[in-house]
Amino acid sequence: MDSLNVSPYGVQAIQVLTVLLGAPLVSGVIAQVEGRLQGRRGPRILQPYYDIAKYFSKETLVSNDSSWVFLVGPIVAFSCYLTVPLLIPVLTTFPLPLGFSGDILGGGFILALAGFSVALSGAESGAPYAQLGSSRAMTFGALIEPTILFVIFAVALITHTDLPYALSATIRSSTSQMVRPSHVFAAAAFFLVVLVDTGRIPVETHSGTLEFGMIDEARTLEHSGPALGLLKWGSTMKQLILYTILINVFLAPWGLASTGKWSSVLLAVTALLGKAMLLGMVFAFIDNLFSKLRLFKITEFIASAFLLAVLSVLVFYVGGG
């Protein structure tokens, strides 16, 4: 083996490190762009790192009413977010050794486990708002689930597998794959799913402090210290993971490393973070265009995402689209 090459396991480790270390940066860029769009100067790009460092130097306060679940939840969630980058095409076009240990459903299960453990830990806090957040997060999570399933159906119909690497390779293979209606609509539906799952504006104000509109944000109200740091870091990682799936599997699977050379892997890391920041700017722009939906209007938003996903499957059956 050439000394310039990284071993496949090494690349896999770099994938996890990219998500781990790059996620706060992407969040920082989005916050900065959002500030600019709103006519503010916005926080520093590196602010999320400082925040996380600050949380890790603080003490953890635990309510008398809560149990060990309250403390374990953030750790389980964080390790879930560390696992998912092993399964999805983050940096390479070729599948890595552990890439086949789980398909899209497997990745979805792990992300769901992370959401579940954070919600459980919020429910265990004994505080009303954290429990409200957990309950809402689980409700809307259940409502968006059929859409995710239909997107997975569409992917499975197009590629005859449910491996993210396979769809990524299919999209790269020709333009006709890129414009076929079932792919276009599945990608649009997944875009809306990302909007819901990252708690962006039509669904939730991610930086708001008003409890009545909170969904995901409210779950972590009772946490403090390193646990809160893990939760914040985890949510930036979840955002980058979803962006990565959207970019590298659906929208623009280009700029990935096709060999294990150091240079191409490093280029792929830069390309991924650049693409994620561009996508983040799109989301920040959407944030600026729309107002938050009322809580009971969110079902309408989810219904439209479901509509897109179902149409993508239907058109595949009727016209081979």
Partner 1 sequence: MAPSTYDGVAAVLALLVLLTEFAMLRAPLLRSQVRLYAFQSFVVTGLATYVAASKHIDELYALASLSLVLKVVIVPSLIVRLLRDADTDLAGSSVLGVASSILIALVVAAFGFFAVGSLHVSSSSLPTSSLAISCAIVLVAFVLIILRSDVVSQAIGFFSLENGVSVASLVVATRLPLIVDIAFLFDLLVAVVVFGVIMRVHHARNATLSTSDFDRLRG
Region of 80-88, 211-219, 281-289, 297-305 interacting with partner 1 (CB under 8 A): 297-305
Is residue 262 a contact partner of residue 10, using CB atoms and an 8 Å limit? no
Q: Which of 230, 191, 211, 244 is nearest to 60 (CA)?
A: 230
Q: Which of 222, 216, 208, 271 is nearest to 243 (CA)?
A: 271
Q: Which residue is it, tokens 């409210």? A: 218
Nearer to partner 1, 249 or 308 (CB): 308
Is residue 261 helix, strand or coil?
strand
Region of 26-34, 79-87, 91-99, 308-316 interacting with partner 1 (CB under 8 A): 308-316
Residues of span 75-104 touching partner 1 by CB under 8 A:
none
Cα-trace Rg, the chain? 19
- Does position 314 interact with partner 1 (CB under 8 A)? The reply is yes
Burial degree of 138 (CB within 10 A; 0-12, 13-18, 19+): middle
Nearer to partner 1, 176 or 291 (CB): 176
Nearer to partner 1, 239 or 312 (CB): 312
In angstroms, the CA 169 to CA 197 distance is 25
Q: How far is the CB of 307 from partner 1 (least distance, A)?
A: 6
Residues of span 273-292 touching partner 1 by CB under 8 A:
none
Q: How far is the CB of 256 from partner 1 (least distance, A)?
A: 21
Q: Which residue is it, tokens 């509509």? A: 307
The first and second tokens of residue 206, run together, are 């991610």
Contact string 152-171 vs partner 1 (x = CB under 8 A): ------x-------------
**Which residues are near partner 1 by CB under 8 A?**
158, 174-177, 179-181, 184-185, 299-300, 302-304, 306-308, 310-311, 314-315, 317-321
